[in-house]
Amino acid sequence: MGRSGGGGGEGSGAGGPGPGLRAHLGALLRAPPRAPLLLSVLLLGTYFFYCLSGPCAAARPPSQPAAPPATRAPQPPSWAPRPGRLLPAAAAEPEDPPEPEAQRGGAGTPGGGGLPLASSFGSRRFPQALIVGVKKGGTRALLEFLRVHPDVRALGAEPHFFDRCYNKGLAWYRSLMPRTLDGQITMEKTPSYFVTKEAPRRIHNMSQDTKLIVVVRNPVTRAISDYTQTLSKNPSIPSFQALAFRNGSSGLVDTAWSAVRIGIYAKHLDNWLQYFPLSHFLFVSGERLVSDPAGEMGRVQDFLGLKRVVTDKHFYFNETKGFPCLKKPEGSSRPRCLGKSKGRPHPHIEEHVVQRLREFYRPFNLKFYQMTGQDFGWD
Ligand SMILES: Nc1ncnc2c1ncn2[C@@H]1O[C@H](COP(=O)(O)OS(=O)(=O)O)[C@@H](OP(=O)(O)O)[C@H]1O
């Protein structure tokens, strides 16, 4: 499943057959008539292959109910951010994979339950809370920490419903969710929602009571982390510096590059505030999630109206990884850190490049502190 590096797009998985499929079907239809059975089998196989391998396929529901189209709402305001320049490699990056335990057991499997019993009790509900961003902010860590809480049931994979898969309909989206009992909260995380101009309106359309969590991180470090991810998939991309500035380091900062654009938090938040009041948001510091995970989890649990169950007893600092890890993740009794793609070393970026980006972000950061009433200390 590809990711867009933060830019939103309408789901493309449910449209008509693409050129590849048309060519394939054409070839099959020209086959000799004496092979009707083989032809039918191939046609069916081709149909299922193309239908199920689209950008929404990683989050397939256990059964496919007839999904009514999602309700239409007024067009978004014209000033909303436009999709920026994407690196080819970024567009082909795989999703943030669910952590292994989540894949094996419960709620990581779309529609699954953590315990065998959970598969037959409770009901699938729309998420009452979403982690909407930001990409490379620490969203996977937050979700895995939250899943330890017995009153949180979360989808492990990123469903990308409100950016790429919206045309699958709200019933499809709900069918992905794990079953919950009364009093439990359903959650999912898709970091690209924060920079998708249609996402706030669509989420508001699902429920205007949705609680929204945004994990934010120093935008300069975030951009380097984003670049590191792209570089890991495609080592031949240009240097960070060449991508960050329009004409080498002497030029203007290139805000069309998604790695830069995502970090202009104030601008993206402005779009969300057209639909949700500030009281619906919790801004989690990506830095404090690493330096004081229990403290930040206390704030998150309070915001979600949960008992403070996840505390410092749940974490240990793994010296080798250099990050806090869980003593007992959901569905496991063994300690576990996040996977290799989380907390990886960044390439060295020259100080003058970092400095110029810091200066670029400063006014946007100050605006963001003002809007949220929180100083994240990035300057
Ligand atoms: N406990 C723990 N373990 C490992 N990594 C941690 C942790 N807490 C936060 N982080 C930081 O999370 C960064 C990845 O962010 P995301 O999970 O939001 O990335 S993604 O958008 O879903 O790809 C990742 O970024 P990089 O350091 O650049 O790899 C980490 O810095």
Q: pLDDT of 170-189, one tens digit each?
A: 999 999 999 999 999 999 99
- At residue 332, the pLDDT reads 83
378 has pLDDT over 70: yes
Catalytic residue (choose from 135, 136, 168, 189): 136
In a domain, 217, yes or no: yes
Do 156 and 54 contact (CB within 8 A), yes or no?
Answer: no
In a domain, 166, yes or no: yes
Q: Is 267 a catalytic residue?
A: no
> Which ligand 1 atom is at minimum distance from the Cα of 324?
1
- At residue 166, the pLDDT reads 98
Greater pLDDT, 288 or 98: 288
294 lines ligand 1 (CB under 6 A): no
In a domain, 199, yes or no: yes
1 has pLDDT over 90: no
Instruction: Tell me how many degrees the CA angle 227-318-98 measures, rounded to the nearest 5.
Output: 55
- At residue 251, the pLDDT reads 80
- Locate tokens 């690196």: which residue? 87
In a domain, 378, yes or no: no
191 lines ligand 1 (CB under 6 A): yes
Q: Are residues 94 and 37 in the same domain?
A: no
96: Cβ contacts below 8 Å, ≥ 6 apart: 139, 140, 158, 191, 341
Centroid of ligand 1 to alpha carbon of 172 (angstroms): 29
Q: Which two tokens stand for residue 14?
A: 């449910």
- At residue 70, the pLDDT reads 34
pLDDT class for 131, splitting at 50, 70, 90? very high
pLDDT class for 101, splitting at 50, 70, 90? low
pLDDT cut 70: percent of the chain above it: 69
Do 1 and 57 contact (CB within 8 A), yes or no?
Answer: yes
- Locate tokens 């057991």: which residue? 105
Closest residue by Cα to residue 315 from 148, 118, 86:
148
Dump pLDDT digits (tens) for 349-367: 999 999 999 999 999 999 9
- CA dist list (Å): 374 to 4, 53, 285: 29, 42, 10
- At residue 170, the pLDDT reads 98
Please, what is the end-to-end C-alpha distance for the chain in angstroms?
A: 36
14 has pLDDT over 60: no
Q: Which domain holds residue 150?
A: 88-372
- CA dist list (Å): 317 to 149, 292, 296: 20, 10, 15
- Rg of the chain, C-alpha, whole Å: 22
- At residue 330, the pLDDT reads 82
Domain containing residue 359: CATH number: 3.40.50.300
Dump pLDDT digits (tens) for 291-348: 999 999 999 999 999 999 999 999 999 999 999 999 988 888 899 999 999 999 999 9
Q: Are residues 195 and 107 in the same domain?
A: yes
Q: Are residues 164 and 268 in the same domain?
A: yes
In a domain, 58, yes or no: no
Do 169 and 68 contact (CB within 8 A), yes or no?
Answer: yes
Sign of CA dihedral 101, 314, 303, 322: negative
State the average pLDDT over residues 234-258: 92
Residue nearest to atom 22 of ligand 1 (CA): 96
81 lines ligand 1 (CB under 6 A): no
Q: How many domains in the chain?
A: 2
323 lines ligand 1 (CB under 6 A): yes
| Residue 156: Cβ-neighbour burial (10 angstroms; 0-12, 13-18, 19+) | buried
- At residue 299, the pLDDT reads 98
pLDDT class for 247, splitting at 50, 70, 90? confident
